[in-house]
Amino acid sequence: MMMSNCTTVTEFLLLGFSDALELQILHLASFLILYLAALIGNLLVIMLIAVDSHLHTPMYFFLLNLSILDIGSISVTVPKSMANSILNTRLISYFGCVTQVFFVVFFIAADIAILTFMAYDRYIAICKPLHYATVMNSKACLKMAATAWSTAVLYSALHTGNTFRLPFCHSNIINQFFCEIPQLLRISGSEVFTSEIQIFIFSAFLGLGCIVFIFVSYIQIFTTVLRIPSEQGWHKAVSTCLPHLIVVALLGSTGMIAYVKPTSGSPSALDLMVSVLYSVIPPMMNPVIYSMRNKDMKASLWKLVRWKWFIPTKMLVFLQ
């Protein structure tokens, strides 16, 4: 009887940041700055790794993948939110919402998988350096990256299908600036508890597996590092591992808070802040975290800057 009275939803209403014009402009300007920073930072990382042969190593290959995923991740949610702010609307189509959910989950899952393989790379490099070239060869790296991307596609398809098989009868208002699974489950008409349990168990199983793997890898890494007699070797080992740990902690903590905490029935500043933290901040911060203490990346950037200045200067001298 309940299903017979259910009207098919063709569009959803996303959360607007504010009705006040000044706050809308602030939201638009803030998101634009964050988006451009993430885009420029990750594109710069991709370009440096692509053009500098010294960076053609497994660690930077995975970092290249991470930057591509970060660009995709932030591009799924932020431009739509900015467009809605400019057009003064909150609408997103049903198909647009399905697409957004699929890619949000896909990019987050692929991010976690790549970060797990990066932990394995650091483990082999520090704990088994003599086997590094054999274990982490180009073929193995390509297989790991392909596994991360294909597993994320399957994982996202299962989550998206499980979410949108439910009817949306009671409401089409999503209390979030993008289509988020917990919010969609909250406004669904039936079987919400079963879906939440399925998602929680499946996500916890995969997520816990990755976290345990990273945790065990770093126990082995730091045990090995403590035995290194050279202070320079110890410093190098720590400097290559620390950015990875910070990125894992940033993505893991914000994502866990977002998906474990109960969803509220009304717009919440906490929900909004947490969603921005896990969907916008990591893609923007990852290039900074990985480049700030990385001598190879700094050297490559300096080489690129000098080359860019060198060519115009030489052309100017030649023309004179």
- The per-residue DSSP string of the chain comes to -TTTTPPPP-EEEPPPS-SSHHHHHHHHHHHHHHHHHHHHHHHHHHHHHHH-GGG-SHHHHHHHHHHHHHHHHHHHHHHHHHHHHHHT--EEEHHHHHHHHHHHHHHHHHHHHHHHHHHHHHHHHHH-GGGHHHHT-HHHHHHHHHHHHHHHHHHHHHHHHHHHTS---S--B-SSSS--HHHHHHH-SS-HHHHHHHHHHHHHHHHHHHHHHHHHHHHHHHHHHTT---HHHHHHHHHHHHHHHHHHHHHHHHHHHHHHSPPPSS--HHHHHHHHHHHTHHHHHHHHHHHHT-HHHHHHHHHHHHHHHHHHHHHHHHH-
Per the domain annotation, does 72 fall within a domain? yes
* 47 found inside a domain: yes
* Digitized pLDDT (tens) for each residue of the chain, 320 residues in all: 445 556 677 788 887 776 777 778 888 888 999 999 999 999 999 988 888 888 889 989 999 999 999 999 999 999 998 888 888 888 899 999 999 999 999 998 999 899 899 889 988 988 888 989 999 999 999 999 999 999 999 989 988 988 888 887 777 888 888 888 878 878 876 555 565 666 667 777 777 788 888 888 888 888 887 777 766 666 666 666 777 777 777 777 766 666 666 555 555 666 677 777 778 888 888 888 777 667 777 777 777 666 655 545 444 444 44
**Residue 1 within any structural domain of the chain:** no
pLDDT on residue 319? 41
CATH number at residue 272: 1.20.1070.10
Q: Please give the backbone phi and psi of residue 262, each rounded to the nearest 5 degrees, phi first.
A: -65, 145
For residue 56, tell me if it sits in a domain. Answer: yes
The answer to the question of residue 6 being in a domain is: no
Taking the complete model, does pTM exceed 0.95, yes or no?
no
Which domain, by its residues, includes 88? Answer: 11-319
- Look at residue 25 in the predicted model and tell me its pLDDT: 84
**pLDDT for position 259:** 61
Does a structural domain hold residue 248?
A: yes
pLDDT at 315: 41
What's the chain's length in residues?
A: 320
Total structural domains within the chain: 1
Region at 268 (left for phi over 0; alpha for psi -120 to 50; beta for the rest): beta
- The letter for the amino acid at 233 is G
Residue 142 in any domain: the answer is yes
Residue 21 lies in a domain: yes
Helix axes 269-279, 231-260, angle to 10 degrees: 140
